[in-house]
Amino acid sequence: MPSLIVPVLLATTLAAVQVVTPVTAARLAGLKATANDPAGDAFVDRPEALDALLDALAADTSRMGPMQLFLASNTALRRGRVEDAGFFFYAAQIRVAFDFERFDVSPRPDGDNAATYLGFLRQTIGAQVNPATMKDRKAFAAVVARLERWDPVPAADAYYPEFEKARVKLPRARWAETAASLKTQFLNVFARRTLTLLNDDDYYQALLDVQSVTLATTEPPPGGLERVKKGFQRMAAAEARLFPG
């Protein structure tokens, strides 16, 4: 009997171990995605394949350029993974800021450059990810904690199709310092401040009131616009109380 028990236990243990395929530039290059979707582009594959991909990307973002981070954000949101969606989305914004510092490219959209498409992704995906993460303040707090630990500097072999022909203008010796500064700025100006607001019950309830009208798929109910107006007033009052001056 003991000779049978050991193989069974070993097989059960191995089955319980989740195997995450490493993220490589080649793997990222082979991914399929939508193109210019009005709701923002995302990766396309079988649901179980997308979940496995998101697990791998969440474990290692070092080889992802900002475009892949945005696509991962929208994919995560569509898969109901709000925390991952928020993390990828805000990480993408930090990495975008860093890339425009280190590459000799224009950060101004001209209709046919990287800034144009990255701006499209930020606008279309942000319109969905921002409300979703702020509605779930526990998820937002987890996102901020992940950003605090995250290194914005990508790996040397990161996949960067959006900037593959761009000249590097920032000396490598300044990458870590520049990226850390940009991350701190994002955390201080947006993430930590927003987390403080969401943890205030007056602000949070007013936000939910506003979202109940602005995110509804039907016509606003009677008095809905007035509810939005009062909700914004309550949010502004809470912000003034929490951040005087």
SS3 of residue 168 by DSSP: strand
Mean per-residue pLDDT, 74-88: 98
pLDDT for 10: 46
Where does the pLDDT of residue 50 fall: very low under 50, low under 70, confident under 90, or very high at 90 and above?
Answer: very high
Flag whether pLDDT at 53 surpasses 90.
Answer: yes
User: Mean of the per-residue pLDDT values for the chain?
Assistant: 92
List, in sequence order, the alpha helices (H) in 64-191.
Answer: 66-78, 82-102, 114-135, 137-149, 175-186
Flag whether pLDDT at 6 surpasses 80.
Answer: no
Q: What are phi and psi of 37, to 5 degrees?
A: -65, 130
Where does the pLDDT of residue 21 fall: very low under 50, low under 70, confident under 90, or very high at 90 and above?
Answer: confident
Contact 238, 202 (CB under 8 A): yes
Flag whether pLDDT at 7 surpasses 60.
Answer: no
Place of tokens 């649901």: 47
pLDDT for 3: 52
Q: What are phi and psi of 103, to 5 degrees?
A: -100, 150
Flag whether pLDDT at 17 surpasses 80.
Answer: no
Mean per-residue pLDDT, 173-183: 98
Eight-state DSSP code of residue 218: S
Where does the pLDDT of residue 222 fall: very low under 50, low under 70, confident under 90, or very high at 90 and above?
Answer: confident
Q: What is the pLDDT of residues 193-204, one digit of tens each?
A: 999 999 999 999
Contact 66, 118 (CB under 8 A): yes
Eight-state DSSP code of residue 107: S
Q: Give the whole-angstrom CA distance, residue 55 versus residue 75.
A: 12
Q: What is the percentage of the chain residues whose pLDDT exceeds 90?
A: 84
Q: What is the pLDDT of residues 115-173, one digit of tens each?
A: 999 999 999 999 999 999 999 999 999 999 999 999 999 999 999 999 988 999 999 99
Q: Give the whole-angstrom CA distance, residue 138 versus residue 111.
A: 38
SS3 of residue 128 by DSSP: helix
Q: How many helices (H) and strands (E) does the chain have?
A: 11, 0
Contact 64, 72 (CB under 8 A): yes
pLDDT for 1: 44
Q: Give the whole-angstrom CA distance, residue 150 versus residue 138.
A: 18
pLDDT for 105: 95
